[in-house]
Structure 1
Amino acid sequence: MSSIEALYIFDEHNTPLLEQTYTGRPPSGSTLLPLYLAHTAPRPSLIYLPNTNPPTLLYSIIQDQLLFLCPSSNDTDPLQILEFLHRVTDALEDFLGGPLLASKIEGHYDVVAQLLGEMVDGGVVSCTEPNALKDVVDAPNFMKTLLGGVGLPSATPSSLTPSNTPFSMGNRPSPRLGPNGGAPAATSSPVPWRRANVRHTSNEMYVDIVETLHVTLSPSGRPLAALANGMIAFTAKISGVPDLLLQLGCPGGIANAVSLPTFHPCVRLNRWKDRPGELSFVPPDGRFTLAGYEVDLLGPAALDSFSTNTPPNAAPKLNIPATVSVLTSLGRTGSDFEVRLQLNPRFKGKASSPLPSSTSSFGGRGGLGKSLGSTAFGGSASTGTTAAPAMDGMVIHIPLPASVKSVVELKTGRGSGEAVFQPADSRVRWAINSREIATLMAGDRGTGAGVLTTLRGTIVGHDNYDDGDAPDTSLSLSSNTYDYDDDPSSSYQSSTSAAPTKPKDEGNASKKNKVLMPSCATVSFTVKGWLPSGIKVESLNVDQKNSKGLGAGVQPYKGVKYLCVSRKGVETRC
């Protein structure tokens, strides 16, 4: 088992904020910090320091410009210690509020010391669940006022005991002893990750499924890779100790679609193994990440489609909201490029209304999905549902070589947003807000081909049009030209043959501008009411028999939202 020997926290100026020693005699923070900074950035999360006494493995993470260091002189599991550091930052954000600032830690040393003391006991990680920590650690005064103002439950003694809860854990932390080592304190929750004596006036359950899309397309538009990374965010505001069952569905079956699933400790793994798609759990109080997963959108037979024996029309097809293609070396001198954006007509959405629209059979509501969708890339002009998903503001990035000086004559189609060249990042940013997307979608004639809009520009290199610069003649052996036939009627010198021939200066410029062309383009967008994997919530039920403290006949409100996010996730190579 991994041993946590000490924890050191430094601010953005590498000034020590806190040192917590758990076991042994590890090197001090003043000794470890110079050895850590001696490595060039970006520094790895695990560094071996053989010159310390004893030789030490140094684990590190950076959160909100604060540096967290954790030394270990034993053979440990690296992932466990790194996960512990992330749990520490999560707990500090829960108690002190985010982002983490040095002033917050300095102003609440008593709270931070209690947290670090509860999370590790003698070098062994004991409790990292925020709900359980809130039962034994007093929040700062301003947090108590805030929680009381919004009606959240306070840490009061619980009437629940381990004997009357339906949930049991094999590896449960030992109960907290009362004064003078007496009976266990009544404030300890029977479920390690849930607050004790939870009470809510309105019982609500919200499910937000968010998937991040990553697609790579070849110049011909053929998909090379397509992955969707999903996260199921659950918000539970239910009194007592509820026992919930969430049923997920997917075309072809969850077991065939989902790979690399990860679950919150509250999920009963045996139930998922026996019946894939069923999540049975006792939730923590508040919002938490219930599960994560990955989906290969091309399927297991994707590699077979790249075989030379497979016809091109047998390649896997993707039904994604938008694709982009880039045409380079256009114009007389090959200095122009054109970006073509194809919008899928399926994602028109519907006109926005003052009332919230339903996203599923459970009813719509504002939650995680709404916040991500409305702030990711701009305001929304349409409301997305599962029947009519809608795209939010779209951004296309066209990265350019560092030798590009500027891009002139940037022109977009009518109603197709605005494009600017950003010299600091050496890229063109083409932004189309939600209203412009809705206008473009309204022009679709229902042919199914989608909506096409374009962006065209001219690239200027650093060595073009500069005074005093001579043309590049390093590869020219002679500046003289030779005529091999003086007869103008000759086939080699006839006007009909010479017409399509480019002048020498234009030919050199075309070759010179070719290296300035973009090599790819990426698309960013959000879609409300749609998931690339096709996963959906089929049911969400409360097991009244095994639940405690909810009350007879209480039917919690249920809400579900779906959201797809692509942050430079759809990339087309040139």
Structure 2
Amino acid sequence: MGAIEALYIFDEHNATILEHVYRARPPPANILLPLFLEHPSPRPSLIYIPNTHPPTLVFSIVQDQLLLLSPSSTDSEPLLVLEFLHRVVDALEDFLGSPLLASKIESSYDVVAQLLSEMCDGGLVSNTEPNALRDVVEAPSWMGRLLGGVGLPSASPSLTPSTNTPFSLPRPSIPRPNANTTSPVPWRRANVRHTSNELYVDIVETLHITLSPSGRPLSALAFGSIAFTAKVSGVPDLILLLNAPGGVANTISLPVFHPCVRLARWREKPGELSFVPPDGRFVLAGYEVDLLGGDYLSSFTTNAKHASNLNLPATAEVRTGLGHTGAEFEVRLTLSPRFKSSTSTSTTSSSSSSSFPRGTGLGLGGRSGSSAFNSGGTSTHPSIEEVVVNVPLPAGVQNLADLRASRGETQYAPGDVGIEWRLNSKEVATLMASSHGGSIGAVATLRASVIGADDEDDENAASSAEMLDGGVGVGVGRLEYDDDEGRGYQSTSIGTEKPKDESGLEQRSAKRVKVNKVLMPSSATVSFSVKGWLASGIRVDSLLVDAKRSRGLGSGVTPYKGVKYLTVSKRGVEMRC
């Protein structure tokens, strides 16, 4: 297995702001970057460059318009190098702040040098936990920066960068902490002290759902993330119990955990997370849920009437080919009545007990015991936030005519790739309040007519044909004088109107319908967020502090606890037509 050879960071203008070499002799940043940029965008995370000696593998990520590259001249584990780059970004954001800007890195080279030296030693990844880095990396305070600015000795050594970049960061001499200040837990800082002991759980699920024109789900996945915030003194040992309809083992698939989670406990009792948390906020676990269930495919083929009840907060239906020439389409947005906000949510429970009541979920509208957030969006009364419907349009659509929506605001300009229909939280609440209840819910519509590239030519041709058909033109009538037939020059057929060809009009109308069919949208996506509801049905049963294993918490101290639920769809619900 290979090792980390170097790390290069470039700003948004592709100028090198950091060049740190760990081992071997990788290509310099000014030679590697042009070869990397030769590949067309979008570039993959791993690119093979044979034009160097020896040939080089380049791993890359982009964060806040900063480009991070790591070259490797030997076979390396791709996930190891990419994960290291992400850990570097997390550490820089933790010490320098987010978003990560080039100016922050340039003004804190001493901190960056210490971080890179601690996270990787001789090419081998070592210490990447933020809590552990806090114990060994000496970050200058604002007083140290002030003293250093006036020429007085500060708390941390000042590594004055040279004026010519790129340059290699020197390996600073970092004072090592003694054994008394070193934490026995690698991911937790030593001697943690908090005046208010608090524990928070935030579960966020992102939806990816595709619906057929009939409304039947083709695929429905939810990707969840459990964020945990621990502000507890000492070294607490916690147990988080999760529950779900049908059991956690049958609901969650492909789980991933923070290193603090005891995997043996999870394998023995699925749904039970036993861990010693890092100090502060971190991602405890991630998972994937198939909302259709494992037997949905077999029921789909054997029973055509069977459909999974996803109970989505918002769905869209697209009707195309409307109007005389089939140039109109309509988007129908439906909001589920289950997610109608209620003023009764302000009376949610405000208990600061040591564990959550079994079977109850404290919703996103307010954490347990926090009345400041109890304005709505709890597990008993989930609420829909802003809803956005995006309707992509074919490339042949030049413009839209008579674009109108019953609710909300629409954004479209000639030549855009689609329509954005937005309903803010206030409009959603008004729409839900105006609904009469029942199983249908609140409905809003959007209607428009498409104009293709050849519509203007057809209109010009039609107007010219009408002029020639009903007006005066050369050679239209016969000019003759024949007294024998009793007709004079006044009886000529100049200006007589020919009957219109009805079959020709029908053919042109059928042709126009056929052309407009190609200009119709083929799908619509819905974006929304729901507070107090999870599509998978996962809930937190309890969060317990193991008093026997915990150290330094103090007798009789009961941490304050809370939980939030949030479901997000970023164009994740797609309705095809």
Instruction: Specify the TM-score bucket, using the shorter chain as the normaliser.
Output: 0.7 to 0.9
The question of 1:326 aligning with 2:318 is answered yes
**SS at structure 1 position matched to 2:305:** helix
C-alpha contact 1:352 1:382 (8 A) present in aligned 2: no
Structure 1 residue 428: Cα displacement: 1.1
One of 495, 505, 509 as aligned partner of 1:506: 509
CA distance in 1, matches of 2:405, 2:141: 54
Aligned residue number for residue 304 of structure 1: 298
CA distance in 2, matches of 1:102, 1:242: 37
CA distance in 2, matches of 1:335, 1:303: 37
Aligned partner letter, 1:223? P
Aligned partner letter, 2:133? L
**SS at structure 2 position matched to 1:231:** strand
What pairs with 1:66-215 in structure 2 (closer than 5 Å)?
66-142=66-142, 184-215=178-209
Choose 1 or 2 for highest CA Rg: 2
The question of 1:219 aligning with 2:213 is answered yes
Structure 1 residue 505: Cα displacement: 2.6
Structure 1 residue 425: Cα displacement: 3.7
Aligned residue number for residue 442 of structure 2: 451
C-alpha contact 2:365 2:532 (8 A) present in aligned 1: no
C-alpha contact 1:2 1:81 (8 A) present in aligned 2: no
CA distance in 2, matches of 1:58, 1:124: 17
C-alpha contact 2:92 2:100 (8 A) present in aligned 1: yes
C-alpha contact 2:137 2:174 (8 A) present in aligned 1: no
**SS at structure 2 position matched to 1:256:** helix
Aligned residue number for residue 465 of structure 1: 456
What pairs with 1:362-401 in structure 2 (closer than 5 Å)?
383-401=376-394
Residue 520 and residue 534 in structure 1: after superposition, are their counterparts in 2 closer, same or farther (change >3 A)? same
Deviating more after overlay: 31-40 vs 392-401:
31-40
Aligned partner letter, 1:559? G
Aligned residue number for residue 5 of structure 2: 5
**SS at structure 2 position matched to 1:349:** coil
Query: Matched residues, percent identical?
Result: 62
One of 255, 261, 265 as aligned partner of 1:267: 261
C-alpha contact 2:236 2:276 (8 A) present in aligned 1: yes
Over the residues paired in the alignment, what is the CA RMSD in angstroms?
2.9
C-alpha contact 2:320 2:330 (8 A) present in aligned 1: yes
Structure 1 residue 18: Cα displacement: 1.2
CA distance in 1, matches of 2:456, 2:415: 21
Aligned residue number for residue 289 of structure 1: 283
Residue 424 and residue 356 in structure 1: after superposition, are their counterparts in 2 closer, same or farther (change >3 A)? farther
Structure 1 residue 345: Cα displacement: 0.6
Residue 518 and residue 47 in structure 1: after superposition, are their counterparts in 2 closer, same or farther (change >3 A)? same
C-alpha contact 2:363 2:565 (8 A) present in aligned 1: no
Structure 1 residue 250: Cα displacement: 0.3
CA distance in 2, matches of 1:353, 1:259: 32
**SS at structure 1 position matched to 2:456:** coil
C-alpha contact 2:55 2:73 (8 A) present in aligned 1: yes
Residue 420 and residue 53 in structure 1: after superposition, are their counterparts in 2 closer, same or farther (change >3 A)? closer
C-alpha contact 1:178 1:185 (8 A) present in aligned 2: no
Residue 512 and residue 561 in structure 1: after superposition, are their counterparts in 2 closer, same or farther (change >3 A)? same
CA distance in 1, matches of 2:522, 2:389: 14
C-alpha contact 2:397 2:415 (8 A) present in aligned 1: no
CA distance in 2, matches of 1:37, 1:283: 41
Aligned residue number for residue 239 of structure 2: 245
Where in structure 1 are there 5+ consecutive unaligned residues?
146-154, 156-176, 370-379, 472-497
**SS at structure 1 position matched to 2:249:** helix
CA distance in 2, matches of 1:328, 1:135: 62
Task: Tell me the TM-score normalised to structure 2 length.
Answer: 0.82
Aligned residue number for residue 165 of structure 1: none
Structure 1 residue 187: Cα displacement: 2.9
Structure 1 residue 304: Cα displacement: 1.1
Structure 1 residue 509: Cα displacement: 1.5
Structure 1 residue 358: Cα displacement: 6.0
CA distance in 1, matches of 2:367, 2:46: 33
Residue 501 and residue 249 in structure 1: after superposition, are their counterparts in 2 closer, same or farther (change >3 A)? farther
Structure 1 residue 431: Cα displacement: 1.0
One of 306, 309, 313 as aligned partner of 1:317: 309
CA distance in 1, matches of 2:375, 2:404: 26
Aligned residue number for residue 409 of structure 1: 402
C-alpha contact 2:230 2:278 (8 A) present in aligned 1: yes
Structure 1 residue 463: Cα displacement: 2.6
Cα-to-partner distance string for 1:195-216 (whole Å, 9 max, x where unaligned): 1110000000000000001110
One of 414, 424, 428 as aligned partner of 2:419: 428
C-alpha contact 1:326 1:339 (8 A) present in aligned 2: yes
Aligned residue number for residue 160 of structure 1: none
C-alpha contact 2:365 2:374 (8 A) present in aligned 1: no
C-alpha contact 2:57 2:72 (8 A) present in aligned 1: yes
**SS at structure 1 position matched to 2:412:** strand
Aligned residue number for residue 466 of structure 2: none
CA distance in 2, matches of 1:388, 1:542: 29
CA distance in 1, matches of 2:396, 2:326: 16
Structure 1 residue 139: Cα displacement: 2.3
C-alpha contact 1:422 1:429 (8 A) present in aligned 2: no
One of 273, 280, 285 as aligned partner of 2:274: 280
The question of 1:18 aligning with 2:21 is answered no
Aligned partner letter, 1:395? V
**SS at structure 1 position matched to 2:427:** helix
C-alpha contact 1:96 1:140 (8 A) present in aligned 2: no
Aligned residue number for residue 471 of structure 2: none
Aligned residue number for residue 223 of structure 2: 229
Deviating more after overlay: 337-346 vs 202-211:
337-346
CA distance in 2, matches of 1:192, 1:33: 36
Aligned residue number for residue 46 of structure 2: 46
**SS at structure 2 position matched to 1:320:** coil
C-alpha contact 1:352 1:381 (8 A) present in aligned 2: no
Structure 1 residue 78: Cα displacement: 0.5
One of 529, 536, 540 as aligned partner of 2:543: 540
CA distance in 2, matches of 1:303, 1:264: 33
**SS at structure 2 position matched to 1:312:** coil
Aligned partner letter, 2:430? T
Aligned residue number for residue 440 of structure 1: 431
One of 308, 331, 348 as aligned partner of 1:339: 331
Aligned partner letter, 1:32? L
CA distance in 1, matches of 2:328, 2:545: 61
Corresponding pairs, count: 502
Cα-to-partner distance string for 1:116-158 (whole Å, 9 max, x where unaligned): 000001110000001111111122434999xxxxxxxxx9xxx
C-alpha contact 1:135 1:188 (8 A) present in aligned 2: yes
> Which structure 1 residue ranges, 4+ long, deviate > 4 Å from structure 2?
142-145, 352-369, 466-471, 498-502
Deviating more after overlay: 117-126 vs 186-195:
186-195
Structure 1 residue 459: Cα displacement: 1.2
Aligned partner letter, 1:398? V
Aligned partner letter, 1:190? P
CA distance in 1, matches of 2:548, 2:459: 87
Structure 1 residue 316: Cα displacement: 2.2
**SS at structure 2 position matched to 1:201:** coil
Aligned residue number for residue 477 of structure 1: none
Aligned residue number for residue 520 of structure 1: 523
Residue 516 and residue 382 in structure 1: after superposition, are their counterparts in 2 closer, same or farther (change >3 A)? farther
Aligned residue number for residue 563 of structure 1: 566
Aligned partner letter, 2:341? G
CA distance in 2, matches of 1:143, 1:567: 43
